[in-house]
Structure 1
Amino acid sequence: MLESPSYPAKLTARQQQILELIKTAIAHTGAPPTRAEIATELGFKSANAAEEHLQALARKGAIELVSGTSRGIRLRSEHLQSINDLRGRQLAQPFSVVNQLMLPLIGRVAAGSPILAQEHIDQIYHVELGLFQSPPDYLLKVRGMSMRDVGIIDGDLLAVQSTQEVKSGQIVVARLGDEVTVKRFIRRQHLIELHPENADYKTIVVEPGDAFEIEGLAVGLIRNSFKA
């Protein structure tokens, strides 16, 4: 019977750099990088080179590779302790531009699961921090035209700050039952209203006892150059 390699096994400088890159990506985005993103960050000619290094890290027991997903990289438990230490800091090496954010793009959200669950993340974008009024935590792909009159249209990427502390009149990402929606949040005395910015859509009234939760606050918008 073959024994798994003991850990910590000695890593090369490049392997250690990739391991730190993975930890930094998870700390800032909640998801590991893809092979293509690793190749871009470290100047590899192809994603295959990144894959070879990941396979070496897996053989040495530093990570676990999960087949069937582009972000199928898991850290060993001892590395998870350092993730919280990285959160909230500026991006450090090997991510070279400290005034950029790495934001996960959220596609369709499965009913009942956290909006930042890894299976919802389509890809990661590098964007300038100064584009937003407040630092966002993720990008949400807008579906539909209910917010057309404030310039938010189908296919836009809405920059969202994860928070439940919002004020009446702000544009929010809300979960109502099994649906996630972007609307203007209005607080009434005994209920909450989610207002569209398009006369073709009806206001959603949230009454006491309804399954309702604020997922985040809209802090910016990206169009065209990142539009899928």
Structure 2
Amino acid sequence: MTDKQERLLNFILDFHKEYGYSPSIREMAQGMGVSSPSTIKAMLDRLEAKGMLTKSSGRARSLTAVKHEEDKGIPIIGRIVAGVPVMAEENIEGYIPVKEFLRNSNGGFFLIVDGYSMQDKGILPGDYVFIQPCKEISNGQIGAFRLNGEVTLKTFKRSEDGIFLLPANNDFQPIPVTNDDSFEVIGRYVMLLRFREQGYHF
């Protein structure tokens, strides 16, 4: 998306937010400082082709601008403890622009690791772990789990003795999941991002 296309998209978003409907081509031209309505129409056609705009056929002022969150990068959502579970912070703390490495993130997100319980798997405090949302996870996979309202990163184990969330550090104990617990699989661990002074490292 070019700078002019992004300006036009933002103009449409702001106009709709203020007035509750989309601007006309003439209003877009005025707002963009463009003299030719055909220039605006060509930009609209390109934005629509890129999936950044949708419009209803036969309806005036029916443009809907789509501001894809993934354009900013992959969101960072709070912290996840690799130790004992901790209440997740459900705010987006920022974005990491790594779409070139994750062509199809499918709603995935990064969590920041806090704790040493997964260190033997190479996962350390301050690392960013990419979590792919899912409802089920295979035995032996590392994932993000919500247990009794708290979130942790562990290896999933199901056996005849029940379900356990396993650490990768002998200083920590496995966490059993009982029938009395509220338990949910948030997603599976896909990759790790570690920042260095020179940039980030996978």
TM range (shorter): 0.5 to 0.7
Q: Does 1:169 align with 2:168?
A: no
**Given residue 173 of structure 1, which amino acid in structure 2 is its aligned partner?**
A
Question: Residue 123 of structure 1: CA displacement?
Answer: 1.1
Task: State, as a whole percentage, how many aligned pairs show the same letter.
Answer: 32
| 2:180 equivalent among 196, 199, 209 | 209
C-alpha distance in 1 between matches for 2:6 and 2:166: 51
Q: Is the 8 A contact 1:139 1:157 kept in 2?
A: yes
2:93 to 115, 122, 125: 122
Whichever structure has more strand as a proportion of its residues is 2
Can you give the 5+ residue segments of structure 2 that lack an aligned partner in the other structure?
23-49, 54-65
CA distance in 1 between counterparts of 2:101 and 2:6 reads 31
Q: What is the deviation of 1:59? A: 2.9
SS at match of 2:116: coil
Paired position in structure 2 for 1:141: 112
What is the TM-score when the length of structure 1 is the normalising length?
Answer: 0.53
Q: CA separation in 2, counterparts of 1:19 and 1:161?
A: 33
Is 1:59 the counterpart of 2:51 in the alignment?
no
Task: Find the counterpart in structure 2 of residue 222 from structure 1.
Answer: 193
Please say if residues 133 and 219 of structure 1, whose CA atoms lie closer than 8 Å, have aligned partners that are also in contact.
no
| 8 Å contact kept, 2:79–2:114 | no
1:160/1:129 CA distance change after superposition, 3 Å: farther
Cα deviations by residue, 1:125-171 (Å, 9 ceiling, x for unpaired) = 22134358976611111111110011111111100000012100000
Q: Which amino acid aligns with 2:150?
A: E
- Give distance in 2, aligned partners of 1:221 and 1:194: 19
1: distance between equivalents of 2:18 and 2:71?
A: 33
Q: Secondary structure at the match of 2:114?
A: coil
What is the match of residue 123 of structure 2? 152
RMSD: 3.9
Structure whose alpha-carbon radius of gyration is higher: 2
Q: What is the CA–CA distance in structure 2 between the aligned matches of 1:14 and 1:131, rounded to whole Å?
A: 23
Give 3-state SS (helix, strand or coil) of 2:140's partner: coil
One-letter amino acid of the counterpart of residue 151, structure 1: G
Contact kept, 8 Å, 1:184 with 1:196, in 2: the verdict is yes
Distance in 2 (alpha carbons) for counterparts of 1:181 and 1:194: 9
TM-aligned CA distance change 1:199 to 1:134, over 3 Å: farther
Residue 60 of structure 1: how far off its partner (Å): 3.1
Q: Secondary structure at the match of 1:187?
A: strand
Q: Distance in 1 between matches of 2:93 and 2:190?
A: 20
Counterpart of 1:7 in structure 2 is none
The number of residues matched between the two structures is 148
Q: Which amino acid aligns with 1:146?
A: S
1:193 to 142, 161, 164: 164
What secondary structure, in the 3-state scheme, does the structure 1 residue paired with 2:101 have? helix
Deviations 1:182-220 (A, max 9, x none): 000001125101110111111101112211111000011
Which structure 1 residue ranges, 5 or more long, are not aligned? 1-11, 23-53, 64-90
Distance in 1 (CA, whole Å) between partners of 2:141 and 2:114 is 19
- Cα gap change, 1:168 to 1:128, in 2 (>3 Å): same
Q: How does 1:5-154 map to 2 (within 5 A)?
A: 16-18=8-10, 54=14, 57-61=16-20, 102-108=73-79, 119-130=90-101, 137-154=108-125
